[in-house]
Chains A and B, each alone.
Chain A
Amino acid sequence: MASLIGARVNRVEDPPLLRGERRFIDDIIVPDVLHAGFVRSPHPHATIRGVAKHAALALPGVHAILTLDDLAPVMAKRRMMRHSNSGTPLDRMWCFALADGEVSYVGEPIAIVIADSRYIAEDAAALVEIDYDLLPAVSDCRKAIESSSPAVRRELNTNTIATYKVNFGDPDSAFAKAAHVFHTDLWQHRGAGHPIEGRGILAEFHRGTDGLTVWASTQKAHDLFQSVTSLFDFDESNLRVITPEVGGGFGPKLCIYSEDIAVVAAARLLQRSIKWIEDRREHFTNAAQERDQYWSIDIAVSADAKVLGIRGNLIHDVGAFALQDVNIPFNSASMMSGPYIVPSLHMDVVVAATNKTPVSSIRGAGYPQAAFSMERMMDRVARELKLDRAEVRRRNLIPTEKMPYTKPLKARSGAAMQYDSGDYPASQAAVLKAVGWDDFPKRQAEARAQGRYIGIGLAHGIKGTGRGPFESGAVRISNTGKVTVFTGAANLGQGLRTVLAQIAASELGLRSEDITVVPGDTAGTALGLGAFASRQMVTAGNSVLLAARAVGEKAKKLASHLLEAAEHDLELKEGEVRVVGAPQLSIKLAELSRILKGAPGYGFPPGVDPGLDASVNWRTDALAYANACHAAEVEVDIETGAVRILNYVALQDSGVLINPMLVEGQVQGGIAHGIGNALFEWMGYDDAAQPVTTTFADYLLPTATEIPTMTTLFQETPSPLNPLGAKGAGEVSTIPTAAAVIGAIEDALQPFNVRIAQTPVPPHKLVELIHGRSDGPDH
């Protein structure tokens, strides 16, 4: 059978999803389940003097109202201590399962209510009376780090959680010899993740063993497993975490949250099964956001527009708690130079706490901000030096012949930051041709003559994908011949089941529909890391490839004994091992599996191990660097500030594509997310740190009428770093989108000399800029 690598195979996931038969977290049915709701703080900062439960407890159907003190007896630790791999001191930034006498953002859970139904739990939550002592709060991360600012929590001596430098080369001498220096201040806002399915968890209590099966809509089943075992000192054999169908991730579902731990604790305490399903308002106030970064940067360039150095600082809002290590601003500062040769850089990074919802990673994880900063400066240099914007980029792109190219920085793993492969100038050339870049000035002039303001923008992006150290992949053939793939990777809608089935089927001579893939189940694989950093095709894909290959070799080895043929004369086809050229000499995989399961006292042929299965945790420290080049053409209505995207061309190089149809889907979805970031998505807080956008009527996700038809182009530069030659895909296209769209808007508004220094840029801001009534970014 021909290899399925590169085939546009329809997804195995689809038929049951299209029939409404797949089970998401709120569709899982277990007997005698109780439902949870949370009492949450309406204040951004307060101490709690008392919690009065009597009115709520009097409500029929309410079983318990529990605070942290109530849960403590079943927990090993009150605080959700995690390991800070970066070394950032975060001991006073980790969350509590429930508030420990103080709340430091609106929405922070104070008590968990357990009731017969979600309706009753929410009624009861509203009846719990909390006596607060209000404390001053800080909303703006720039103010938070001033010494006069109130502490976000009383335990914090300062709201400056971390400061560090990202630097290389000699920026001082670069600036001293520069022909031009340009300064830019940027406000970059990235909103929240907003999968259409919110979070949810179901702790199923097993009477008799006191064990738990935890079902969770998560990107990281094994992290949840490890968190529960350590926070509860729980016997590993008594816990299983299962990921049901997940209705999108985009970042927020990679964290372990207070609600997760509170639900598990309540289940242990009450010895009952308990389910909690997040509502959208809770997602707005409690699921991780990426929110605000403030950049102040200078760029030094030579007379011929070559970048000599970059200097600046970046303030990153991390919110009231850390949900995981604070890597996002490191990604932003370290990846700023993107696909360009930048000889020197010095960025001072400040991570600031505020009285707002905790910040973690949203699709792109700091990389979109890096690209926006760099690409805005590229546009600036072109404008100041009166050069074509594509030409300025070309002069600075890493040339093809310099690949692989080592940046003078180290990745988080300590490995050198080496771009493994790619052809950035060729990427750009293909995009310019497809979008009609060279003709655009003519089209723009014609449009202007008709009173229409159209513009074009261009942006490059780089993403380190396939973050290690590994992902698990196990392949098992049963004695019915059925093949199952187990992995710690998570299926969030990317089509993980389909692509891993394609890989395993290609190795075993089967069809993808013959393979069942079981992702995110801790009973399937003991180890796993899950979905983040566009990593699963590289990590899980290669583990499954190598595991399937090992299983195939094992099958051939046993078959060679049974068929009395040399292994190299055997092939895997249609569920059998066959002698090449003599298919009547064959043995079924089912039979081989039966033999390798063993029979009491009977032996195997020499050199064959038991079990027709293999488990591989393919290791990697290096990242596979995917790249993208985007061009956007827009029209701006100068009366209303409305932006219409007329044309969008996106090239992506994600290495060898396993299923190009699915990668196209990732590219398109990523662009839509980036368009949301560029034009619509704003998670607003007022000066008192009260959230002001907590419905989809206030926080605007892009809809079908705002997203254009996109042209997707691929380059396939294999990564030399992994057997598949693959690179990640999921986040790559989000990275340059805001820069391309906003560059296009600025180009359209040239006659008004408009300069855009923020994302998102809503219509009213554009109208202000057109009328010259704005003096910088909104925030």
Chain B
Amino acid sequence: MTTFTGSRRLRSLRDVGTGIAAVGVKELRGRMRGRRAFVVLTIHLLLVAGFAWMVEGLAERTISSGFGGSFSASADIGRQMFTALLALLTLIVLVLAPASTAGAISLEREKQTLDLLTTTPISSLAIVLGKLLSALSWVFLLLLASIPVTALVFTFGGVGPDDMIKGYLVLVVTALAYGSIGLFVSALVKRTQAATVINLVTVIALTAGTTFIFVFWVAMTGSSGVLPDQPTRDAGPIDGLTHRPAEALMWLNPFVAQVDVICGTDTGFGASCQVVSGVTNGVTVDQQFGIARDSYWPRSLAAMGVLSIVLIVLSVQLVAPTRRWRIGLPRPRRRRAGGDA
């Protein structure tokens, strides 16, 4: 009995693998056909390299003009380039990851191909994962191509290989989380155009929106001690608001996670560390060494990972033709349209 169940599980697992491969090959054939993919890749690299060059030039001019000059000028340039490149790459991921999955399911519905796909033995999980991984593989390819440009910061110093690995890890998990958001929205709404707009709004809400709410909340809170649970001593503009917002509000904002990674290249008292300290309510601040390293971004990545898993499960439910759970946008009731039942 156990062997039977085991072999059945093995078969299911193999079927999921076959399905992911089938969908992945089909999607990648479409994406990589012709010159389009290579043109986009070239433009991406030119943009990243040009941006790095620009930042290096600006940093050099600033330091040589006497502002911010220090005994470690080269390392400062390296850190500034690293910061700028991580910000740019995060922005690219935030735009491309949800955009590349926005039509994954809704386009299948629009083109009336989803029925053809769901009557094959490949599972909804395979369809969802195949779509997600093929869309993300394109984003990952862009990230991979940018590594040599980002590695230029090593010639200036100030940034270690471990910092770069952490930065790219945040980028990869960000792509996974925001790609999953795009996929979920695509499975939820029927039109790709609507899915694209919802994705854009979601990205803005989770980055600029959360930042605005956090800053606004802090500004409206009465001044208090450093500790988050400590009640306010002076009343703020809003009387009832006595506690600062929890750092969890910013977990899905990858820019803050990247700031924490950049803080790792700093002394612990620099601007990036101040930002992270503000977000974490100073919990990890040490009087002697500044902020504790690598404390915030792993929590942010874990939150994005959990979000990805939840959204993938929900997307599978939405794609399955005979799903058990009923989730979807509320629709106005209407009479059955003409045509056959």
Is A bound to B?
Answer: no
Please list the residues of chain A having a beta carbon within 8 angstroms of any beta carbon in chain B: none
